[in-house]
Amino acid sequence: MFKIYIIILISIFSNYSLAASFDCSKAKTKIEKIICLSPEISKKDEELAKIYYAVNNASANNQFLIEKQKKWLKERNKCDSDKCLLEKYSERIGVIENWLDNEKKIDDFFLYRTYVGGDRYSMSVYGEMTIDKEYLSWTNSGSCKTKYTILSKEVGSTFSDIDPNVLGRHEKFTFKSFKLKLHVNNCKTNVAYLRVTLISEINGYLDVIEYDKNDAINARTHFN
């Protein structure tokens, strides 16, 4: 009887250590232990990890996704029941799957080209804007050529700061939005950041938001 009990314990802890997307034998937090003790939650954790890494491998510049995942983990860690965790995982898996589907609709490569001002403001301030993998430049307002850093990237049917309805765009459209930090040492401009956004169904269209050094919106404009 004692031998049978030992075998059962070994079986339980063997399964426990192989569960989830992490080593359950090293589980320390309450949430980690709940995940490891529940086959259903453990399976969800593995599923989410596979999808999340698939998204990261599918595209560069995923800092936005990483930050969102960190926030989600904080929310997940507030759960105090299996039901709460299952709901959190199911919701997050749906979000990441949708992100991956949308990511495939607009390749980052389409950002790199020359755009022509599409309204009075963009024509007078920028004229033509060219974006390549290292530099961003424009021809008006004394002209400027500056290096930039991609701070974040968002993909989906909506994105921060712009409501598609404001633009007159339908929700079915897919947006890919990049927030760029400009290194404008030699340019006469008070623009510190630009959010540039591609729209899947409108080839060559670029929506632009200007931000000052305090991250406040200066202007909204667009290019064709």
> How crowded is residue 175: how many other Cβ atoms within 10 Å of its Cβ?
22
Residues 31 and 95 in one domain: yes
- The reported pLDDT for the residue numbered 171 is 53
Statement to judge: residues 115 and 96 lie in one domain: no
Taking the chain, what is the end-to-end CA distance rounded to the nearest angstrom?
A: 78
H or E stretch including 131? strand 128-131
Q: Binning pLDDT at 50, 70 and 90, where does residue 13 land?
A: very low
**Structure confidence at residue 129 (pLDDT):** 94
For 3, other C-beta atoms within 10 Å of its C-beta total 7
- Across the chain, what does the average pLDDT equal? 80
Beta bridge partners of 194: 180, 210
Domain end, chosen from 88, 105, 122, is at 105
Same domain (yes/no): 80, 142: no
Sign of the C-alpha dihedral computed for residues 110, 113, 116 and 117 taken in this order: positive
pLDDT bracket for residue 196 (50, 70, 90): very high
Q: Average pLDDT for residues 170-176, to the nearest whole number?
A: 70
| % of the chain exceeding 90 in pLDDT | 35
Once rounded to an integer, what is the mean pLDDT over residues 163-177?
A: 62
Q: How far apart are CA 120 and CA 125, in angstroms?
A: 8
Residue 151: closest CA among 215, 220, 70? 215
State the maximum Cα–Cα separation within the chain, in Å, rounded to a whole number.
Answer: 88
Q: Tell me, what's the pLDDT at 136? A: 94
Q: Which of 105, 129, 160 is the last residue of a domain?
A: 105
Confidence of residue 194 (pLDDT cuts 50, 70, 90): very high
Quick one: 44 and 30 in the same domain? yes
**Residue 17 pLDDT > 70, yes or no?**
no
Is the domain of 91 the same as that of 173?
no
Same domain, 212 and 116: yes
Report, as an integer, the average pLDDT of 179-203: 86
Contact call for residues 205 and 221 (beta carbons, < 8 A): no
Task: Tell me what the mean pLDDT of segment 45-56 comes to.
Answer: 87
- On whether both 22 and 72 belong to a single domain, the answer is yes
- 85: domain range? 2-105
DSSP 16: H
Domains of the chain: total: 2
Structure-token match 């899947």, residue found:
200
95-136 residue pLDDT tens? 888 877 777 777 778 899 999 999 999 999 899 999 999 999
Domain end, chosen from 105, 138, 163, is at 105
pLDDT higher at 216 or 164 = 216
- Residue 185 amino acid letter: N
